[in-house]
Amino acid sequence: MSAAQSMPSAPSRRNLPRQLSDAEAALFARHGVGRDVRPGDVIFRRGELGRAMFVIEDGEVRLEFGDGLPDKIIGPREFFGELVLFIGSHTRVANAVAIGSVTLRIVDQDAFDALVASEPATLAQFMRRSFSYLVASEQQLIQRLKRRNEDLLVTLDSLQHARTQLSVVQQLVSTDELCGLCNRRGLYRYLDQLPEQRLPGTVLALLLVDLDRFKLINDRHGHLVGDQVLRAIAEEVQNAASIADMPCRIGGDEFALLMQVSGEDELIARATQVVYAVRALRFPTGAGELSVTVSVGGSLCAADADWANWYSEADAVLYQAKGRGGDGCCVAGAHIDYERLVPG
C-alpha cells in the first residue's frame, strides 16, 4: 500500500482550511521525505530559519506562537511551514511540537519547485488556498493585536500620566522656584548620576557666583527688584553652561556652575563670561537705572575628592574676589589679571 493510500481520509477534518485534497496529499506523499517524530519532539523552533514545508500523515502537532497568542493543534493531511516555499528563507513564527508519535512528509524547496514545473495546476490550487488561509490568519492576528494594543495603550497612557506626575513633582522638588535653576536637592541628584554622565577628555570644574552687595540692592530698591536681579543672574549662569554642565542656585544670592571643561583656560573663560555678562545688565527702577556686579571663584575639581572639597576650594577663591572689591573673578592656581576684569 502506498503512503498516499495509507493516509487516513479524516472526514471530520476535510473542511479544515489547511486540509490537503486527495490529489495534493498524493503528490506530496510521493515527493516528500518521510520522517517519524517521537512524542514531545520539537520539529522546529520559533525564530529558526525555515527550509521546508511539513505534511502530517499521522498524529498531531501543536503550533506554539507565544506572546499571549493561543496555540493551534493540526492533524493528519494538514500542512504547516509552507511560507518558506513561497518566499524563500523565512523565520519560523511558532514552535512546532509533536503530540504523541507523528509521521511527517518533508517537502523542501527543490522538491516543491519540481512539482510546480510538473504539476502546475495542482500546485496553483494549493498555493491559492494557502495564500487565502495566510491572509485570513494575518487578518485575525491583526485584529487580535489591535485589541491587545488598545489595552496596552490604555495601560501605557495611565503609566505615562503617572510618570508625568512623578516627573513634575521631582522637578518641583529639585528646582529653585524663583530662578528656575536646580536647587541643592537637584544638585545632589546630579552628583549621584555624575559618573555616568562624564564626558571623555574633560575635567570637572566649579564656579561659585555671588552677587555683590545684594542686601543694599534690596534695601534701596525693594525685594521685587532684588528678585528680578537674581533671575537675570541665573540666566547668565545658565548661558555660561554647556549641555553637560549643572547650573544651580545654592541659596540666597549665591549660584554654582559645575562644569566639564577641557582645562584651566576654559574655566577662566567661563568665569570671565559671567562677570562681563552681569556687568552689562541694566535694571530700571524708581530711583533710576541699576547696574549690578558679581564676584566669581573657580577651581578645577580633583577627581578623588567630593562636593564638599570642591565647594571649599572654590569658596576660598570666591572670598578672595570679594575681598578685592567684587566685580571680578579668581581661579585657584591660575595667574590671571584680576584688575583687568574691573572697569577703570
Together in a domain, 203 and 329? yes
Half-sphere exposure of 127 (CA within 13 A, CB side): 15
Question: Within a domain: residue 251?
Answer: yes
Question: Within a domain: residue 167?
Answer: no
Q: Is 40 helix (H, G, I), strand (E, B) or coil?
A: coil
Together in a domain, 108 and 26? yes
Question: Within a domain: residue 314?
Answer: yes
Together in a domain, 322 and 216? yes
Together in a domain, 107 and 41? yes
- Domain boundary (141, 166, 195) is at 141
Together in a domain, 97 and 244? no
- Domain boundary (125, 141, 157) is at 141
Comparing 51 with 8, the larger pLDDT belongs to 51
Together in a domain, 136 and 193? no
Q: What is the pLDDT of residues 164-187, one digit of tens each?
A: 554 554 554 678 888 889 898 889
pLDDT of residue 340: 43
Together in a domain, 190 and 129? no
pLDDT of residue 241: 93
Measure the CA–CA gap between 125 and 334, rounded to whole angstroms.
87
* Percent of residues, the chain, with pLDDT higher than 70: 83
pLDDT of residue 234: 94
- Name the residue type at position 46: R
pTM above 0.85? no
* Total number of domains constituting the chain: 2
Q: What is the pLDDT of residues 215-249, one digit of tens each?
A: 999 999 999 999 999 999 999 999 999 988 999 99
pLDDT of residue 34: 94
Domain range spanning residue 298? Answer: 184-341
Question: Within a domain: residue 166?
Answer: no
Question: Within a domain: residue 169?
Answer: no
- Nearest alpha-carbon partner for 181 in 88, 253, 272: 253
- Domain boundary (122, 141, 160) is at 141
Together in a domain, 188 and 257? yes
Half-sphere exposure of 37 (CA within 13 A, CB side): 27
186-to-70, 123, 145, 261, 267 alpha-carbon distances in Å: 49, 70, 42, 21, 23
| CATH number of 49's domain | 2.60.120.10
Together in a domain, 191 and 296? yes
Question: Within a domain: residue 172?
Answer: no
C-alpha cell at 216: 543694599
Q: What is the pLDDT of residues 302-344, one digit of tens each?
A: 989 999 999 999 999 999 999 999 999 999 876 554 444 444 3
Question: Within a domain: residue 102?
Answer: yes
Together in a domain, 216 and 300? yes
Together in a domain, 130 and 268? no
Question: Within a domain: residue 80?
Answer: yes
Q: What is the residue-wise DSSP string for 61-111? A: EEEE--TTPPPEEE-TTBEE-THHHHHSSEE--SEEEEEEEEEEEEEEHHH
Together in a domain, 34 and 118? yes
| CATH number of 289's domain | 3.30.70.270
Mean pLDDT of 31-47: 94
